[in-house]
Amino acid sequence: MSAGAIHDLSSDPRQGERSVDVLIIGSGCAGATAARALARAGREVLVLEEGGDLTGQKLTQRDGRMYDQLYQDRGGRMTSDLTMAVLQGRVLGGSAVINASDVVPLSDEVLRFWQRKHGLTDYSVEHLEPHRHQALADLRATPIPEEQVNRANRLLREGAAKIGAKGEVMLNNRVGCQGLGTCLIGCPIGAKQNPRVVAIPDALAAGATFLCRARAVRIDDASAELKRVSVRVLDANGYHEVGGFTVRARVVIMAASAVNSTQLVLRSGLGNQHAGKHLSLQPQLGIVARFREQVTPFRGIPQAYAVTEGERFDDERGLWGFRVEAIMGTPGIIASLLPRLGAEVMGAMAAYPQLAASLVLVPDEPSGTVGLTKAGRVRIDYEHKDNHKERLREGAKLAARCYLAAGAYEVEVPMHRPVVVTSERDLALIDAIPFEPCTAPLMSAHQQGGLRMAASEAEGACAQNGLLYGTRDVYCFDAALYPSSSSSHTQAPILATASFLSERLLAKG
Ligand SMILES: Cc1cc2nc3c(=O)[nH]c(=O)nc-3n(C[C@H](O)[C@H](O)[C@H](O)COP(=O)(O)OP(=O)(O)OC[C@H]3O[C@@H](n4cnc5c(N)ncnc54)[C@H](O)[C@@H]3O)c2cc1C
Ligand code: SF4
């Protein structure tokens, strides 16, 4: 078997029609895992990726250019009411190239919940066990070493210990991390064990071909033996469509992320009444603490410690409660989170070295939808339930208490009118936050649902093997399938379920 290759089509946009056995759309955790499994089994595999291939020094650690190149909609994707930034990757290797490298596996509890509540009988702990194991092996998952827990993370931990709140240093997927601190805009030394570093080289060695700057826009003949997928070629920056061609494939696997796989189904006029529904966004709310000491939060691993005191499992709703996780970003993202203009931003950013920050993460009810604008672009509507808001307030208060106990002189919830807490007496101010649309810097990094899988067509858009109902061999292998939050961090679950689904596809022949 000959090795595969990566081609950037922007330098050669005039492509002719292609035919292939298996076409995979998206090269992230889901797509790369499937590409490797199927190519190793001898299947002819072609992967389309609308992002570019950025590794090593192409990951320049410069905010502007990197958000532009590595994120969907250049980092500007939002819910339709402008309440929540919806962050997703757009690069060979997918969102894991720009994620925070925390590893929280798909738990037994979640699998049992999916079986009990959603009738997903195939998703037993026994069936998934080897695939969960494979996911952790691919991630080279290990606990973050104590010496790599930076001061900002330690302050959250110290505060949690002082008020008696439970927490943990997380698992991560870094090998040889030098603590450069720019994980959210890519790791220039390749320390993060993401698909670009692990599954894609394996898939290439097994003969898979990857086409970059190739955007799938429509699937036709979805019930025929040979499907027809229309592809647009993008320019070198990924801004403009400069060419187009068609791929004919026997099997089509959508692995373009929860939001984009759903978009593709809707653009293609496919899917039943569940397509586009049941979207979870897992809202996250930023909290900023100011200290008098030099915290230097931008050095070292940005997200290492989580306060898990508020996390719980709800028998009716699945993963529930909230987590508070330390985080830090590059100057661009921190400045954009602080609700100030002009000189005030400069003033606030002058204190960047003395900041610590965290995110309150809420595993939500699937209360969002993916739709299309008239131009066929993604439209995300999201109902922000009262219980989400309540849990965000509880999490924000817990974060504030931790930071105050650790010595912060003030803690800010960076609303459009900032809520500033300087002592426990002020916590009632957080209780009063209404979370009206467009007032808080909420963000989503773990989109799930949109093409929910179910045991029957009456309950979901896809079958348990990922097959999109109403089609022949058009599958979804990513988090669009999940009927509820799979984990507080989605990369390990997606790697596991994509491996499981690949095995099932191969067993079908
Ligand atoms: C900022 C951030 C931080 C995160 N932190 C963590 C973390 O610490 N731990 C964790 O476990 N998870 C984290 N996540 C989530 C996790 O990284 C993702 O859930 C996971 O990587 C998604 O994998 P995927 O394969 O489903 O989709 P993606 O990785 O998003 O891959 C989809 C790929 O498909 C491409 N694509 C989309 N549409 C098309 C199309 N029409 N044609 C061709 N290609 C297309 C995209 O460009 C993209 O590269 C984070 C995510 C973000 C954004
Ligand atoms: S902190 Fe580690 S993993 Fe993150 S970008 Fe820096 S070297 Fe890479």
User: H helices then E strands: how many in the chain?
Assistant: 12, 26
What residue's CA is closest to ligand 1, atom 16? 491
Burial 265-286 (b: 16+ CB within 10 A, else e): bbbbebbeebbbbbbbbbbbbb
Task: Give the pLDDT confidence score for residue 2 in this predicted structure.
Answer: 80
DSSP secondary structure string for all residues of 17-58 = -EEEEEEEE--SHHHHHHHHHHHHTT--EEEEESSB---GGG
Contact indicator for 416, 438 with CB cutoff of 8 Å: yes
Which residue from 299, 238, 163, 178 is spatially nearest to 9, judged by alpha carbons?
238
CB 191 near ligand 2, within 6 Å? yes
Q: Which residues contact 164 (CB under 8 A, 6 or more apart)?
A: none
Centroid of ligand 2 to alpha carbon of 199 (angstroms): 19
β-pairing verdict for 284-290 and 311-314: unpaired
Contact indicator for 221, 230 with CB cutoff of 8 Å: no
Centroid of ligand 2 to alpha carbon of 188 (angstroms): 8
**Tens digits of residue pLDDT in 221-230:** 999 999 999 9
Task: Give the pLDDT confidence score for residue 47 in this predicted structure.
Answer: 98
**Tens digits of residue pLDDT in 67-104:** 999 999 999 999 999 999 999 999 999 999 999 999 99
What residue's CA is closest to ligand 2, atom 2? 177
Which tokens sit at 150? 């930076």
**Vertex 255: Cα angle to 250 and 257 (nearest 5):** 155
Task: Give the pLDDT confidence score for residue 218 in this predicted structure.
Answer: 98
Contact indicator for 72, 51 with CB cutoff of 8 Å: no
Centroid of ligand 1 to alpha carbon of 25 (angstroms): 12
β-pairing verdict for 18-25 and 227-234: unpaired
Please state, in angstroms and rounded to a whole number, the distance separating the CA atoms of residues 506 and 509.
5
Task: Give the pLDDT confidence score for residue 487 in this predicted structure.
Answer: 98
CB 176 near ligand 2, within 6 Å? no
Centroid of ligand 2 to alpha carbon of 96 (angstroms): 13
- The alpha carbon dihedral of 383, 386, 392, 395 has a sign of negative
DSSP-assigned beta bridge partners for residue 474:
252
Centroid of ligand 1 to alpha carbon of 170 (angstroms): 20
Residue with tokens 């009810």: 365
What residue's CA is closest to ligand 2, atom 8? 187
**Tens digits of residue pLDDT in 135-177:** 999 999 999 999 999 999 999 999 999 999 999 999 999 999 9
Contact indicator for 18, 247 with CB cutoff of 8 Å: yes
Please state, in angstroms and rounded to a whole number, the distance separating the CA atoms of residues 260 and 372.
11
pLDDT at 241 exceeding the cut of 70: yes
Counting ligands in written order, the one closest to the CA of 99 is: 1
Centroid of ligand 2 to alpha carbon of 297 (angstroms): 13
Provide the CB-side half-sphere exposure for 422 (13 A, CA): 1
**Tens digits of residue pLDDT in 191-222:** 999 999 999 999 999 999 999 999 999 999 99
CB neighbours of residue 234 within 10 Å: 22
Centroid of ligand 1 to alpha carbon of 294 (angstroms): 34
Centroid of ligand 1 to alpha carbon of 208 (angstroms): 20
Indicate the angle between helix axes 386-405 and 151-163, nearest 10 degrees.
100
Strand, coil or helix: 309: coil
Centroid of ligand 1 to alpha carbon of 93 (angstroms): 8
Strand, coil or helix: 369: strand
Residue to mutate, 7, 73, 99, ligand 1, most ligand atoms under 8 Å from C-beta: 99
CB neighbours of residue 502 within 10 Å: 26
Contact indicator for 450, 370 with CB cutoff of 8 Å: yes
Task: Give the pLDDT confidence score for residue 1 in this predicted structure.
Answer: 64
**Tens digits of residue pLDDT in 495-506:** 999 999 999 999
Write down the mean pLDDT value for the chain: 96
Which tokens sit at 19? 């035919």
DSSP-assigned beta bridge partners for residue 369:
381
Centroid of ligand 2 to alpha carbon of 134 (angstroms): 23
Ligand 1 environment, Cβ below 6 A: 25-31, 48-51, 87-91, 94-96, 98-102, 184, 215-216, 255-257, 260, 264, 445-446, 478-479, 489-492, 494
**Tens digits of residue pLDDT in 361-377:** 999 999 999 999 999 89
Q: To the nearest whole percent, how much of the chain has pLDDT over 70? A: 100
In the structure, what pLDDT confidence band is assigned to residue 335 with cuts at 50, 70 and 90? confident
Which tokens sit at 179? 């603590």
| Region 144-180+284-363+385-436: CATH code | 3.30.410
Residue to mutate, 217, 370, 491, 501, ligand 1, most ligand atoms under 8 Å from C-beta: 491
Q: What is the pTM of this model?
A: 0.98
β-pairing verdict for 18-25 and 45-49: parallel
CB 189 near ligand 2, within 6 Å? yes
In the structure, what pLDDT confidence band is assigned to residue 332 with cuts at 50, 70 and 90? confident
**Tens digits of residue pLDDT in 272-324:** 999 999 999 999 999 999 999 999 999 999 999 999 999 999 999 999 999 99
Provide the 8-state DSSP code for 183: G
Counting ligands in written order, the one closest to the CA of 148 is: 2
Please state, in angstroms and rounded to a whole number, the distance separating the CA atoms of residues 321 and 398.
12
User: Which ligand 2 atom is nearest residue 181's CA?
Assistant: 1
Residue to mutate, 301, 327, 330, ligand 2, most ligand atoms under 8 Å from C-beta: 301
Centroid of ligand 1 to alpha carbon of 298 (angstroms): 23
Q: Which residues contact 432 (CB under 8 A, 6 or more apart)?
A: none
pLDDT at 337 exceeding the cut of 90: no
Contact indicator for 371, 379 with CB cutoff of 8 Å: yes
Centroid of ligand 2 to alpha carbon of 43 (angstroms): 35
Query: Where is pLDDT greater, at 441 or 104?
Result: 104
Alpha-carbon separation of residue 140 from 104, 171, 192, 195, 308 (angstroms): 13, 10, 9, 12, 23
pLDDT mean over 60-70? 94
Domain boundaries, the chain: 1-55+106-140+194-274+449-509, 144-180+284-363+385-436
Residue to mutate, 47, 215, 481, 490, ligand 1, most ligand atoms under 8 Å from C-beta: 490
Centroid of ligand 1 to alpha carbon of 134 (angstroms): 19
Which tokens sit at 451? 């093409």
Residue with tokens 């009927």: 483
> For the chain, what is the largest distance between any 2 Cα atoms, rounded to a whole number of angstroms?
69
Counting ligands in written order, the one closest to the CA of 229 is: 1
In the structure, what pLDDT confidence band is assigned to residue 336 with cuts at 50, 70 and 90? confident
Compute CA 350 distance to the chain's CA centroid, rounded to the nearest angstrom. 30
User: Which ligand 2 atom is nearest residue 174's CA?
Assistant: 3
Which tokens sit at 380? 């995300």
φ, ψ at 232 (rounded to 5°): -110, 135
Task: Give the pLDDT confidence score for residue 342 in this predicted structure.
Answer: 86
Please state, in angstroms and rounded to a whole number, the distance separating the CA atoms of residues 270 and 219.
8
Residue to mutate, 260, 444, 477, ligand 1, most ligand atoms under 8 Å from C-beta: 260
pLDDT at 333 exceeding the cut of 90: no
Fold annotation for 1-55+106-140+194-274+449-509: FAD/NAD(P)-binding domain (3.50.50)
In the structure, what pLDDT confidence band is assigned to residue 443 with cuts at 50, 70 and 90? very high
